[in-house]
Amino acid sequence: MNKKLLWAAGLMMTSLLINAQNGDNATMPKQFVKNIITNADTSDWRGITLQHDKTNSAYYATANGLQQVHVLLIVADPAQQMKLLRAGMEIWLNWKGKNNTNKATGIKYPLKSEEAFNPSEWQQNPQQGSSQIFKFMLSKKTEMQLTGFKKELNGKHNLVNSSGVKIAINFTASNVMIYELSVPYTALSESVSFNTPVSLGIVFKAIEQSDFSGGGGRPPGAGGGRPGGGGRPPGVGGPPGGGSNSGSQQRPDFEKMFKETDIWYKFSLAEK
């Protein structure tokens, strides 16, 4: 096991007060960090508490420094990964503490894929097929869309741009997706207040049935499988409950790929 996975195991062990906080009442503790590099490497998140959302098979965390706020998202389920890469994802920061996108700051990435997709090869062996397919799909995701920022920053941008907003996605050796986002306060259209509740929404857009080619409609067998339970993210520091790569044995939950879902939670910016 490499150093990254060894550290990740330690992170999960320190975060076992992880709860399945589905719904709109989840609260993230204040978490101040000095140095986080947005590179989809979780080693910078040492000691940060993760929360778990069963509905979306995702682990997430928020932390901030004096100049920016950081978001970490970990997704191990292949169906949820496919949904994210195909249909797109949005992250919203509502600085008034409301669980909605009204007058909120939005970051849309990945953007929806426009080309049709034949899932037959991926569906037959989603764990094996995910690595190459997902990395190919990710290589085409070169733009983000910003809204609710300073006027001159809103709109589409290349991932490398002058807005200061940074995004990185990568996959571990066990095909676990790591997503990191960094938003500088200087890019916002309004000043931020420390120790004041902020609402953050992660919206997973739905794949449309028309997106699938080679037979049309949903892939055969859609509706099978169940989201994973609590504990550590499979493939990041070991599967929950021990065992050998038990996370990769689960059948993907294809049905949820066709439903828009979200996670909303509250956090406060920590001064130090």
List, in order, residues 6 or more apart from 156 with CB less than 8 Å away. 143, 144, 145
Strands 68-75 and 51-53: unpaired
Q: What's the rounded Cα separation, in Å, for the pair 156 and 61?
A: 26
Alpha-carbon span 99 to 93, nearest angstrom: 9
As given in the structure block, the two tokens for residue 98 are: 């409301």
Would you state the pLDDT for residue 252? 61
* Residue (of 247, 260, 228) closest to 59 by Cα position: 228
- So what's the pLDDT on residue 237? 47
Order of all β-strands in the sheet with 58-64? 51-53, 58-64, 68-75, 177-184, 166-171
Distances 209 to 19, 123, 204, 206, 256 between C-alpha atoms, Å: 33, 15, 16, 9, 12
pLDDT in tens, the chain (272 residues): 344 443 443 444 344 345 445 555 688 999 999 889 999 999 999 889 999 999 899 999 999 999 999 999 999 998 899 999 999 999 999 999 999 999 999 999 999 988 766 666 556 656 555 678 888 889 999 999 999 999 999 999 999 999 999 999 999 988 899 999 999 999 999 899 999 999 999 999 999 877 665 544 555 444 443 333 344 555 554 333 333 333 444 556 678 889 999 999 999 999 97
Q: In 3D, which of 17, 44, 13, 49 has the Cα closest to residue 30?
A: 49
User: Is 0.85 surpassed by the pTM of this model?
Assistant: no
